Structure 1
C-alpha cells in the first residue's frame, strides 16, 4: 500500500473572478438580438396570446425592427464585455489582446444563440 499523498500542482489556477463569463455574455446578447421573435413566441407558449397573434407580432417586429433588436444585442454584448473587463482591471489594449480568443468565443456564442433561437422560433411559427 502506498500512503503518499498525490502531488500538488504548484501552477497558479485562475480564480473564477479572473475569467470572462463568455457563456453568460454571449447568450444574453444573442437573446436580446432575437427578442423580436422570442418575446411573442414565449407569450404564445405561456398561453397569453394565440399562436396566430404571436406570429403576426413576430413578423411585424422582425420585418420592421429587426436591425434595432440586433443593434440592441450588439450594444449589450459590448457593454457586458466592457463591464467585465473593467471589473478585472483589463480594460486596455493589452487586456483585450490577452483575451482575444475568449472575446471571439463570446461573439461566436452570441451569433450561435441568435441563429438557434431564430431557427426554433421559425420552426414554431409553422404550427401557428
Structure 2
C-alpha cells in the first residue's frame, strides 16, 4: 500500500507548472522574433532538392532526445542549477546579433540551433545525475 508521502512525491513530480510553460512560450516567441532572419534562410534552403530533408532533422532530433530522456529519472527536490543553460542561451543571442550585424543569415540560423540547445539545458538539467 502506498503511503501518503509517496503519493505526495509522485503528485509533485507530475504537477503542471504553468509559470514554466508561460516562460517557455514567452522565450519561444521572443527568440522567433529575434531569429526570424535565420528561420527564413532555413525555410528557403529546405525548398531546394538537396536540403529538402531539412524539416525532418528537428523532428527526429526531438524524438531521439525524448527517447534518451527516459533513461534519467526525475530528481526529487529543487532544480540544482540552470545557469549553464542560461549561458548557452546568452551565447546564442550573441551569435545571432553578430549574424544580424554581418547580415549573414546562416549565422543567425546556427544561433537558433544553439538557442534550442540552451532551452533544453535549462529545462532538463534537473533530470541529469550529478556526481
The normalised TM-score by structure 1 is 0.30
The normalised TM-score by structure 2 is 0.29
The one of the two structures with greater contact order (alpha-carbon pairs below 8 A, sep at least 6) is: 1
